[in-house]
Amino acid sequence: MPENDTTPAIEFQGVVKRFGDNVVLDGLDFTVAQGDRVTLIGPSGSGKTTILRLLMTLEEANEGLILIDGDPYTHEMRGGKRVAIPDKRRSLVRRRVGMVFQQFNLFPNMTVLENIIEAPIHVLGKSKAEATTIAEALLDKVGLAEKRDERPTKLSGGQQQRVAIARALAMEPEILLLDEVTSALDPELVADVLGVLRNIAETTDITMLIVTHEMQFAREVSNRVLMFDKGKIIEEADPETIFTSPTHERTQEFLRAVL
C-alpha cells in the first residue's frame, strides 16, 4: 500500500538489463507517481517491452533496483549488497501489478468467466460467489456480459483482448501494464478496446504504464510521455508538448515517422 501520496508507484534505480552482450537498459532511472498514466514511446528495440516485463518479473534485471510503492521487488540491498528476493515475497508485490499482453494469452481450457475468476479465487482467496459478482460487473464494463460462458477461442481478437483486460482488473491491481494491446487486432476492432481502456482511465485511479503506437490514444489518456531511445529516456513531457513541439531531434524524427 502507498505509504503516502508522494511515494512513487514505480521507481527504477540504475536498472541494467543485458541479453548476452546486448545492453538493453543501461542504468535506467525513472519514477511513476501514483495514478499517473505514462506512455512509453520510442523506436523498435529501444527497450519498452523489456521495462514492462521487468515489472512483471518475466525478466530479471542484471543490476539496479525496482521499487513498487517504495517496496523492493525482485532485489534489495542488504549490507551494501544486492540480493535477490525469493519468489514467495516477490509474489506479494507482484499482486499489485497487472498486465495485458499483445497476444491476449487467455487460457483456452477455461471459459471467459473462469479465466477472470481463477486468480481472484486462488490467489486473493475470494469466495467463488464474490469473484463471480466482480467478474460479471467487469464483463459488463467491457461490454461482453453475454459471453461469460463462451470459450476464448470462439471470440474475436478484440473481444478476447477485452476479456484479458477484465481478467487483469479482477485482481484489483494498483498498476496496470499495457504492451501494445491493440497491435495484434484487425483495424476495425481497435476502437472497442481503446474505448474500454479510456473508460478505465476515466473511472479509476489505477497507475498505468502504456506502450502503444496509437498516438491519438496516448495523447488522450496519458498525462506523461517518455521517449526512449537505446534504453535511455531522451525526452519526457506532457503529451501536448511532446506531440506538438518535441525538443529532441530523435523524438522529432520518430514522431514524423509514426504520425
Partner 1 sequence: MSDNLQQFVDLLPQLGEGILVTLQLTLGGAVLALLVAFTLGFGSRAHTRWARVPSRVVVEFFRGTSLVVQIFWLYYVLPLPPFYVELDPLACGILALGLNYGAYASEVVRGSINSVAKGQWEAAIALDLSPVHRLRRVIMPQAWPLMIPMFTNLLIQLVKGSALAAYISLHDLNFFTNELRERTSDTIFSYTVGLLCYFVVAYLLTLAMNALEVRAKNRLGTGPTLREVLRLAPVQTTADVGAGGPAPAATTASKGGDRDG
| CA nearest to 206, candidates 222, 226, 190 | 222
Is there binding between residue 49 and Mg ion (CB under 5 A)?
Answer: yes
The footprint of partner 1 on residues 174-203 (CB under 8 A) is none
Is there binding between residue 61 and partner 1 (CB under 8 A)?
Answer: no
| CA nearest to 28, candidates 57, 62, 59, 2 | 62
CB burial string 228-244: b at 16+ within 10 A, e below:
bbebebbbbbebeebbe
Is there binding between residue 248 and partner 1 (CB under 8 A)?
Answer: no
Say if residues 121 and 128 touch (Cβ distance below 8 Å): yes
Is there binding between residue 57 and partner 1 (CB under 8 A)?
Answer: yes
Total residue count of the chain as it appears in this document: 259
Report in angstroms how near the CB of residue 133 gets to ligand ATP at its nearest: 37
Is there binding between residue 39 and ligand ATP (CB under 6 A)?
Answer: no
Is there binding between residue 212 and ligand ATP (CB under 6 A)?
Answer: no
Pick from 107, 130, 137, 253: which binds partner 1 (CB under 8 A)?
107
Is there binding between residue 42 and partner 1 (CB under 8 A)?
Answer: no
Residues linked to residue 40 through DSSP beta bridges, in sequence order: 211, 226
Given CA atoms 168, 194, 10, 60 in this order, what sign does their dihedral have? positive
Reading the block at residue 1, the C-alpha cell is 500500500
Pick from 6, 44, 153, 245: which binds ligand ATP (CB under 6 A)?
44
Scanning 43-51, 100-108, 139-147, 235-243 for contacts with partner 1 by CB under 8 A, the matching segment is: 100-108
Is there binding between residue 22 and ligand ATP (CB under 6 A)?
Answer: yes
| CA nearest to 56, candidates 221, 171, 146, 152 | 171
Say if residues 41 and 225 touch (Cβ distance below 8 Å): yes
Report in angstroms how near the CB of residue 43 gets to ligand ATP at its nearest: 7
Is there binding between residue 19 and ligand ATP (CB under 6 A)?
Answer: yes
20: helix, coil or strand?
Answer: coil
Between 128 and 247, name the residue whose CB sits nearer to partner 1. Answer: 128
* Binding footprint of ligand ATP on the chain (CB under 6 A): 19, 22, 24, 42, 44-50
Residues interacting with Mg ion, by CB under 5 A? 49
